[in-house]
A and B are shown apart, each in its own frame.
Chain A
Amino acid sequence: MNKHTPNGIPHTTPRQSATFTQDINSDIRRAAATGIYDIRGGGAKRKVPSFDDLLFMGASISRYPLEGYREKCETNVTIGGLHAENPIELDIPVTIAGMSFGALSGPAKEALGRGASAAGTSTTTGDGGMTPEERGHSKKLVYQYLPSRYGMNPDDLRKADAIEIVVGQGAKPGGGGMLLGQKISDRVAEMRNLPKGIDQRSACRHPDWTGPDDLEIKILELREITGWKVPIYVKVAGARPYYDTTLAVKAGADAVVLDGMQGGTAATQDVFIEHVGQPTLAIVRPAVKALQDLGMHRKVSLILSGGIRSGADVAKAMALGADAVAIGTAALIALGDNDPKWEAEYNALGTTAGAYDDWHEGKDPAGITTQDPELMARFDPIEGGRRLKNYLKVMTLEAQTIARACGKNHLHNLEPEDLVALTMEAAAMAQVPLAGTDWYPGKPGTSY
């Protein structure tokens, strides 16, 4: 007889709530103990409909494949040919997303430049300005123009191969940045004209323009300052992709960078990361439709980001109409972030490899998201660059493998007709048929 059931009545097994999960309860306890919201890095961790819910069909009798090792499958992409004298020519359609010096160490930025250049693609500055290491090691460098304008100056602007006006980020549409005091080293403080050791908040809106009409004039000013030479991208969070893409194109952008909710950030409120924005899968088709409606698809480039991990993701993004993708988190993992070899140290920080996201605290055992000289010294930018190059090559090979199997001699020739969806949600978002059917929710001419 069980001591809890003295009268012989059986107990039910202990049952965890699907509403009050252990994770949620730990959130509540943390909030109760501190009185402040949780801040972390990374992107949405919840499961959302994603590229994993899509499959390629491959060739069959009705269409024939290309030979994997002999027949060409091109991967090059031109970005910004519409208004700029010198568009960006990339060998592969995978670019490195903007990540700030400050959030990342100088050597980590250098490694991103090295890896991207070796793989024939571009890298991007971030909040906090351009460092000489990064410019020096990046063959193609996109210079971000952010609301904070930390480190912004016309000399660096003219050194850039393209300019990216940042309106929003997928991790936090409508939110600004934050770099907490722990990471404000002398060098970071100097580049941002702020005292050392204080929390730095980056504004969520640009200080000198609001709305699409102003944006058009801002783009004009930047083009005048740079002599109409370099392309101008506009980066928006995946909030209202149809309208934002339309307005960016009307304002004169050469490229639209669209960042879904899985997209990483250096630091923001967890509630923002998990509850604001739309999944990457859901934002591509509306943006492509906007470009098509304006007659600008393939003229204004669409660069998609937010949770891109593999060549399969690249191929799916491109099949849905993107011209290229950008990666942040995956690039950091390739450099060595969250590597299990630091497990003991992750444990000491109260976490585990793969889950470490307190990048804002500056204690990264891998020495990547830190300004601590001792931790930074663990990271070798040459080795990091080599690893990133390898990873970018693999992604490209994977995307080519899929494209050839679909009979395409250029990644850009992948199309929605090559895809099916595994779930109703993915079918509706990607507007490709549910596997085994010729139907998706919202398909024109159907009655659902």
Chain B
Amino acid sequence: MQTLDLSEIGLREVNKALHAQSDDTNQTAWTIENARGSHAIACGLDAPIEVTVKGSTGYYCGGMNKQATINVHGSAGPGTGENIMSGKIVIEGDASQYLGATGHGGLIVVKGNASSRCGISMKGVNIVVQGNIGHMSAFMGQSGNLVVLGDAGDALGDSCYEARFFVRGEVKSLGADCEKKEMRPEHIEFLKEILAEAGMDADPSEFTRYGSARNLYNFDVDNAGAY
């Protein structure tokens, strides 16, 4: 186990040490002490390492992550896991706005709640939130899956493309061109797998699926009022 104390060596040295790890590193376990809400912790990682961050993080923790597993032992600030490509980010506490924005792949798990615009413009990432998510979540979501064990706020999936949303609780309102969809066996199967991967215990049959009605895909003047 390697330990990096952010308050002693500073952000640049912490990220430099993590960026220096390659695919075949044998220093696979890292702990970052004294996160204290600092921004850009462990962003841009690209190695199969496991990083535990002690404390809450500021903006963009784990931004553009590839391969690495990042555990935040606290809450996470705005834009955590933005543009994640692969790997996994687990947040023990709550997540602020824009969680996993534009994420292309990988998995983000939140044990608490996630704020507004969770999964905004998602492009392939899977996000699992144990609690609730805020308004405008998955706005313009292109692909990937957003799984919510609690409730979703206003305007879920506004102007979404092919991303899928599974919500167990209430959805306050759906955004433009987002609709309720039927749950087919393949969706139950997918939920079983992703919930297991996220370490969450929930019955897939209790979820409702939402996605694009595909009415706004090509501009049609009769839909102008919906934009």
Contacts and interface: CB of A to CB of B under 8 A. Distances in A.
Nearest to A178: B219
A221 B77 CA distance: 13
Contacts of B58: 217
B11 to A, nearest CB: 7
Nearest to B19: A227
Interface stretch (B117-125, B179-187, B189-197): B117-125
B12 A208 contact: no
A232 to B, nearest CB: 13
B143 A207 contact: no
B166 interface: no
A427 B124 CA distance: 53
A220 interface: yes
Interface stretch (A53-61, A164-172, A192-200, A294-302): A192-200
A198 B217 contact: yes
Interface string A219-243: 0110011111000000000000000
B44 A207 contact: no
Contacts of B19: 227
Interface stretch (A64-72, A145-153, A307-315): A145-153
Contact of A218 (B60, B124, B140): B60
Interface residues of A, number: 33
A199 B219 contact: yes
Contacts, number: 104
Given A152-B83, A193-B142, A221-B39, A203 B219 contact: no
B50 interface: no
Contact of A225 (B64, B101, B121, B219): B64
Contact of B102 (A154, A180, A208): A208
A345 B139 CA distance: 41
A224 B82 CA distance: 14
B221 A224 contact: no
A36 B220 CA distance: 9
Contacts of B82: 207-208
Contact of B64 (A34, A153, A194, A220): A153
A36 B60 contact: no
Nearest to B59: A217
A197 B214 CA distance: 12
A152 B40 CA distance: 18
B16 interface: yes
A199 B44 contact: no
A217 B96 CA distance: 15
Interface in B51-102: 58-60, 63-64, 66, 78-79, 82-83, 85, 98, 101-102
Interface string B37-49: 0011001101000
A157 interface: yes
Interface string B15-53: 110010000000000000000000110011010000000
B18 to A, nearest CB: 10
Nearest to A223: B40
Contacts of B124: 193
B224 interface: yes
Contacts of B59: 209, 214, 217-218, 221
Interface in A153-208: 153-154, 157, 180-181, 192-195, 197-199, 201, 203, 207-208
Nearest to B139: A207
Contact of B142 (A36, A157, A194): A194
Interface in B122-149: 123-124, 139-140, 142-143
Nearest to B142: A193
A201 B78 CA distance: 24
Given A208-B60, A221-B43, A225-B43, 7 more contacts: A149-B101, A149-B102, A154-B44, A154-B46, A203-B140, A208-B102, A218-B60
17 contacts: A35-B224, A36-B224, A154-B85, A194-B142, A195-B217, A198-B218, A199-B218, A201-B140, A201-B159, A203-B140, A207-B102, A208-B78, A208-B101, A217-B39, A220-B39, A221-B39, A226-B44
5 residue pairs, one from A and one from B, having the closest CB atoms: A225-B44, A208-B79, A149-B102, A208-B101, A198-B217
Interface of A: 34-36, 148-149, 152-154, 157, 180-181, 192-195, 197-199, 201, 203, 207-209, 214, 217-218, 220-221, 224-228
